[in-house]
Amino acid sequence: MAVPWLHEMSWPEVEAYLQEKDIVLLPVGSTEQHARHAPLGTDTFIAARLAEEAGQQADVVCAPPLHFGWSPHHMVLPGTISIEAPILQGLVFQIVKSLAHHGFRRFVLVNGHRIANLPWLQLAAEQAQRELGVRVVIFDPAFMQKEIVPALGFGKVGHAEEIETSQLMHLRPELVRIDLAVDSEPHPQALYEPDPNFAGDTLCYVPSTLAQMERVARTTGGSTGQPSKADAALGQRLHAHLVKRLGQVISQL
Ligand SMILES: [Zn+2]
% of residues, the chain, pLDDT over 90: 93
% of residues, the chain, pLDDT over 70: 99
CA distance 99 to 19: 14
How many A from CA of 133 to the centre of ligand 1? Answer: 32
pLDDT at res. 196: 85
pLDDT at res. 237: 98
Q: What digits encode the pLDDT tens for the residues 79-124?
A: 999 999 999 999 999 999 999 999 999 999 999 999 999 999 999 9
Residue 65 has pLDDT above 80, yes or no: yes
How many A from CA of 199 to the centre of ligand 1? Answer: 22
Most distant pair of Cα atoms in the chain: their distance: 57
How many A from CA of 18 to the centre of ligand 1? Answer: 33
Q: What digits encode the pLDDT tens for the residues 14-57?
A: 999 999 999 999 999 999 999 999 999 999 999 999 999 999 99
Segments making up each domain of the chain, as ranges = 6-252
How many A from CA of 43 to the centre of ligand 1? Answer: 5
Please state the rounded mean pLDDT for residues 221-233. 97
> Containing H/E element for 107?
strand 106-111
CA distance 133 to 96: 11
pLDDT at res. 245: 98
Residue 1 has pLDDT above 70, yes or no: no
How many A from CA of 52 to the centre of ligand 1? Answer: 18
Residue 2 has pLDDT above 70, yes or no: no
Residues with Cβ within 8 Å of 44's Cβ and at least 6 positions away in sequence, in order, are 27, 28, 29, 30, 31, 65, 66, 67, 112
Select from 3.20.20.10, 3.40.50.450, 3.40.50.970, 3.40.50.10310 the CATH code of 6-252. 3.40.50.10310
The band of 155, judged by pLDDT with boundaries at 50, 70 and 90, is very high
Neighbours of 237 (CB within 10 A): 16
Please state the rounded mean pLDDT for residues 192-198. 88
How many A from CA of 38 to the centre of ligand 1? Answer: 9
Please state the rounded mean pLDDT for residues 1-7. 83
How many A from CA of 224 to the centre of ligand 1? Answer: 11
Residue 199 has pLDDT above 70, yes or no: yes
